[in-house]
Amino acid sequence: MQPLADRIRPIKLEEFVGQKHILSEKSLLYKAIKSGNIFPVIFWGPPGSGKTTLARIIAKEIDAEFMEFSAVNTKTAELKKIFEGFRERKSSKKIIVFIDEIHRFNKLQQDSFLPYVERGDIFLIGATTENPSFEIISPLLSRTRVFTLKNLSKEELKEIISRALKDKEKGLGKYNIKMDEESTILLIEGSNGDSRTLLNVLEIAATNAPKLKNQTIVTEDLIKEAFQKRFLIYDKAGDEHYNTISAFIKSMRASNADAALYYLARMVESGEDPLFIARRMVIFASEDIGMAQPTALVVANEVFNACEKIGYPECQINLAHGTVYLAKAKKDRSSYNAYFKALKDVQIHGNLPIPLEILNAPTKLMKDLGYGKGYDPYTQKDLLPDKLKGKSYFT
């Protein structure tokens, strides 16, 4: 059976709960949906705020063809093949392509969508939990409109609970559930504004609750237990996987060892591959600590080696040791930032001519042509190509 969150997902704009700041009748998005004059958009918001639901509703409202993909398990080559098929078919209907977790496509992959968006072959709706300013390429951002979704309020979550409990066809109405105010508040507060979490926990509690005189009694203890079970359901290809590793990295970046250890413990307890965690720590050592403490890369590599040799359960100690070290280390992203500045110039300018004096000259002809002439190994001269003279990447 489908999870409750999918079964009672709204299919009409009037049924959609929350996000009134972008969906009031006077808003641009609402008017565009109702008029059918939709445009490419990026929905940026936390998990469970309604990004996927809203994309599906838009397609239904304007009677468009709808195709849904996740950047987690979709290759851009597959998408391009599908998009080319759209061009050849020339459908009279608008075609909405929804890409969940669009920020997981790298910059080159995102770049491949541009021609189809520009020509209007597709109307792209991207969903992301990460800041589009940093995760979506500028050319794609300039061709889309970003709408920010918020965590649902307590009142909005209460409305969703009410709907789920009353709906006898798709919801939990057939269970005739009785849930007191304290249990409802616990469920709402524990969900942190995430409607999917709220409904998943509610369903776990309801389907395991005792029945008394044709009523299903959902108590605070059941809600607490359901939340615990949820944390152990750790889909390694889904939101919980990526949200937790993201929280782990960001906690180390903020030098918050306690938070980093907590998120590490959640991953370990859920059976996450220790090499996946250690691999991210190796990347972090260069990306975030870098020149401030170069030995961090050595420590991170040794943690990876220890995990590879020892495995669970003992290697969780190595992971904890490395986590605290990396969290407490000074941070310096200058080498990381400098490299990507240089990479941008490579992508923009291509193979610019290298100054002759630092070219190798293995043959007489090359020496005669000036290769290596005047080379000084300790020169203070600018050795960048002429077009980039004076550029500074590492500061």
Token pair recorded at residue 265: 């413990």
Stretch 47-58: mean pLDDT, rounded? Answer: 91
Q: Residue 238 has what pLDDT?
A: 54
Burial class (CB in 10 A: 0-12, 13-18, 19+), 9: buried
Q: Residue 43 has what pLDDT?
A: 94
Stretch 368-376: mean pLDDT, rounded? Answer: 86
Q: Give me the chain's average pLDDT, please.
A: 87
**Predicted confidence band at 125 (pLDDT cuts at 50, 70, 90)?**
very high
pLDDT at 137 over 90: no
pLDDT at 299 over 90: yes
> Which of the given ranges, 109-113, 365-369, 379-383, has the highest pLDDT on average?
379-383
Q: Residue 324 has what pLDDT?
A: 98
Q: Residue 232 has what pLDDT?
A: 47
Q: Residue 233 has what pLDDT?
A: 46
Q: Measure Cα distances from 55 to 60, 94, 171, 253, 299 in Å.
A: 9, 14, 22, 33, 45
Stretch 43-60: mean pLDDT, rounded? Answer: 90
Which is it for strands 215-218 and 211-212: parallel, antiparallel or unpaired? Answer: antiparallel
The CA distance from 260 to 238, in Å, is: 20
Q: Which one, of 283, 355, 368, 366, lies nearest residue 326 by Cα? A: 283
Stretch 198-223: mean pLDDT, rounded? Answer: 84
pLDDT at 268 over 80: yes
Domains in the chain, please, with CATH? 19-148 (3.40.50.300), 154-232 (1.10.8.60), 239-328 (1.20.272.10), 349-388 (no CATH)
Q: Residue 188 has what pLDDT?
A: 86
pLDDT at 255 over 60: yes
Encode pLDDT of 82-118 as tens digits.
887 776 676 678 888 899 988 888 888 888 888 888 8
Hunting for tokens 């986590």 — which residue is that? 323
Q: Residue 197 has what pLDDT?
A: 86
Q: Which one, of 299, 244, 255, lies nearest residue 277 by Cα? A: 244
Bigger pLDDT: 278 vs 188: 278
**Predicted confidence band at 47 (pLDDT cuts at 50, 70, 90)?**
confident
Residues 248 and 277 sit within 8 Å (Cβ to Cβ)? yes
pLDDT at 182 over 60: yes
The CA distance from 291 to 273, in Å, is: 29
Q: Which of 52-61, 189-198, 237-246 has the lowest mean pLDDT?
A: 237-246
Q: Residue 191 has what pLDDT?
A: 80
Give the containing element (helix H, strand E) for 207: helix 195-207
Q: Which one, of 135, 156, 139, 125, lies nearest residue 57 by Cα? A: 125
pLDDT at 314 over 80: yes
Stretch 107-133: mean pLDDT, rounded? Answer: 86
